[in-house]
Amino acid sequence: EDEEIVAEIMRRRFFPALITHKAWEGFHFAGHEIRITEATDCYGAVVWPSALVLCYFLETNSKQYNLVDKNVIEIGAGTGLVSIVASLLGALVTATDLPELLGNLHHNVLQNTKLKCKHQPCVKELSWGIDLEKNFPKPSCHFDYILAADVVYHHPFLDELLLTFDHLCRNDTVILWAMKFRLEKENQFVGRFQTLFDLEVISDFPSLNITLYKAMRKGRMKA
């Protein structure tokens, strides 16, 4: 079953028939053809399999996790694929990442959502753990969903990542997080995450080494 679903997810990706001056990949999600411009000089400008897993889940579980008119933030949005799919599914999306990735992220988001979505998504800088209250003040920022795909990888900012999850999450916020397991240090992050959040596995793909989690603030998990 795992291999069948993974094959279906990977079939959502397509490549240009002709080589162009700009590298891009195509995807079919939410009834649309999505074209993503990539870069090869940084981790955040490539579409990783965890993003496809999360997009597929959002599309195929749109009744249980109805995003229409919901406030959604994606952290570590990278190329923007997950944010684009959430927007096409009717959400009011804020796509965030580091300053150096915002140009490509904004290009992809605009190219794939303009005149196609109920709510035009916005792109915003978010450096984990930095100026959180200034840029995302708790009195005025309420997110129904936090989306994250492959945000835990080999980098020194796991403390800041946990702080960011904690700041953005209210008691009724649902976190949907796709994680690829790689190195032990990063894998230990799951245990630390569970000190603040109730965690539930909602999909598991052993062939990709990817797990999809649902999380809510500790003690507030909804059925």
Secondary structure (3-state) at 45? helix
Q: Identify the CATH homologous superfamily for domain 1-222.
A: Vaccinia Virus protein VP39 (3.40.50.150)
Side chain identity at residue 139, one-letter code? P
Query: What is the pTM assigned to this prediction?
Result: 0.93
Question: What residue ranges do the domains of the chain occupy?
Answer: 1-222
pLDDT of residue 41 exceeding 80, the answer is no
Distance CA 160, CA 165 (A): 9
pLDDT of residue 223 exceeding 50, the answer is no
Quickly tell me which residue has 């979505």 as its tokens: 117
214: Cα separation from own chain's centroid: 13
| pLDDT single digits (tens) 60-97 | 999 999 999 999 999 999 999 999 999 999 999 999 99
